[in-house]
Amino acid sequence: MTAAQIRFATLWRREVNRFMKIKKQTLGAPLLETFLYISVFGAALGSRIKELHGIEYVVFVIPGLIMMSFAINSFANNSSSILQQKFQGAIQDQLSSPASPLELLLAFSFGGFMRGLIVAGLTFIAASLLVDLPVDHILVLVPSLFLVGFFFSQLGVLTGVRAEQFDDVAFVQTFVLTPLIFLGGVFYSATLLPQPFETLTHFNPIYYMINLVRYGFVGFSEVSIPLSLLALTAATAGLFAVNLRLFSRGYKLRA
Amino acid sequence: MPEDALRIEDLVKRYPTGVEALRGVSLDIAPGELFALLGPNGAGKSTLIHCTTGLAQPTAGSIRVFGHDAIDDYGKARQAVGLAPQELNLDWFLTVEETLDYHAGYFGMPKRERRERTKELLETFSLTEKRDERTRTLSGGMKRRLILARAVMHRPRLLILDEPTAGVDVELRLELWHYVQRINQEGTTILLTTHYLEEAEQLCDRIAFINDGQIVGEGTSSELAGRYGVANLEDAYLALVGRNELSRSKIEVVS
């Protein structure tokens, strides 16, 4: 391995090691939360709703839950890891190393991405054991999930870098992300909503992400798949470019 | 002629608040020197160190570490520097051993070398028994040892010690100075800031006074005392900060 490869592997290992050390909080809690959603919405409500667009209700809900766990965990990991290290001053050890802005950004991003991937993967395995979950379009599902994970990793990095206190991170997660995800159609179809809520849902970017992942699993979508994939790719690339610029400038990282 | 270990020219650092922490600092430190930078709190010592190690971005001027520009060629410049900061900026999630291992990884050191170097430094700094403990459980003195061990972990050619003995007991202070003198004799260049003037006087080849963001005097301790027309380094320092009335020579002994 070259010195640069060792450096990048170490930066990444540190991020993964951090959440693995507090597994109960970083992996256990989100898994339990997802399991509770499946129980409440799938078993309890599902017995009344039965089907949506010809799909068993619990199967309709699970793709959105998998996408949600990938997104929230990618975001939460990176935002709190960066803010915590800024608080402790420990981030100075990485910042004063020869690591480039790109290496630092990718390592912080992949930490959250890995956590999201693990939680989403375990959710998928658990859901597959409970219900018959199809995978209809794997070539849409895999890139969609990876783009969702990477997008929220970037959002987590951006929030962590900008944040000056834990309240700043909690604000984005509680007052921005959670409402957008819940109102993006994880638990229902937007076509069932009365106006103007049906139209308003189309302005929620997470609606398109949920539809991409749902299409990958069950083959049903309310939006254009190519257009949604294109928009998600563009948004992820845009956010990555913004973060790279902030890291290169040392924004709120270097005095 | 060998490159200076550290060459700083007309360094200016202006913070976004408008505060000018460094106002045209120039400084040369030869390879193998043990150099002290003294000055009152807020004089600009830490800012100068942060600019050298990439933790702050200079507004103007240049910094070269063994000939490598700290901005344009930051990778090579930072590879040559080890920093023991004033703050105990350890990562609470990491163990003592991980702290050293990760630091060396950030600097591209291969695994086997990291393992050997970690073992050597744990012994040198009497940390072997604490190797598996998380850093937050260490006493202040142990944290200080670990910070110095981390700074030398990647075998830097220039070691920067920012008030390394602040708040440590006499025994540890002497231990640290013995170690610093030893590695200096082995060829490591050392830049030290301290408030213990007698230590700077005894340990260092040359001393610079910094005040209000400017170097106001430079030389051996006797040269500095001569420049201010006083008997010793402490009185020269008091003259610098305008507190001559505190000189021990003016204190009347009451019998």
The pLDDT tens digits along chain A (255 residues) read 899 999 999 999 999 999 999 888 888 888 888 888 888 877 777 677 777 788 888 888 899 999 999 999 999 999 999 999 999 999 999 999 999 999 999 999 999 999 999 999 999 998 888 888 899 999 999 999 999 999 999 999 999 999 999 999 999 999 999 889 888 888 777 777 878 888 888 888 999 999 999 999 999 888 899 999 999 999 999 999 999 999 999 999 999
**pLDDT tens for each residue of B54-75:** 999 999 999 999 999 999 999 9
CA distance B97 to B101: 6
Contact A6 B50 (CB under 8 A): no
Residue spans per domain, chain B? 6-219
Chain A residues closer than 8 Å to B75 by CB: 98, 100
**pLDDT tens for each residue of B124-134:** 999 999 999 99
Task: Report the CATH number of the B6-219 domain.
Answer: 3.40.50.300
| A11–chain B Cβ distance below 8 A for any pair | yes
Contact B106 A10 (CB under 8 A): yes
Q: Mutating which of B14, B91, B103 best tests the A interface, going by the most A Cβ atoms within 10 A?
A: B91
| A142–chain B Cβ distance below 8 A for any pair | no
CA distance B46 to A221: 57
Assess contact for A129 and A40: CB atoms under 8 A. no
CA distance A214 to A220: 6
CA distance B158 to A69: 46
- Taking CA–CA distances from B46, the nearest residue in chain A reads A255
Assess contact for A67 and A205: CB atoms under 8 A. no
CA-wise closest residue to B63 among B16, B29, B35, B31: B29
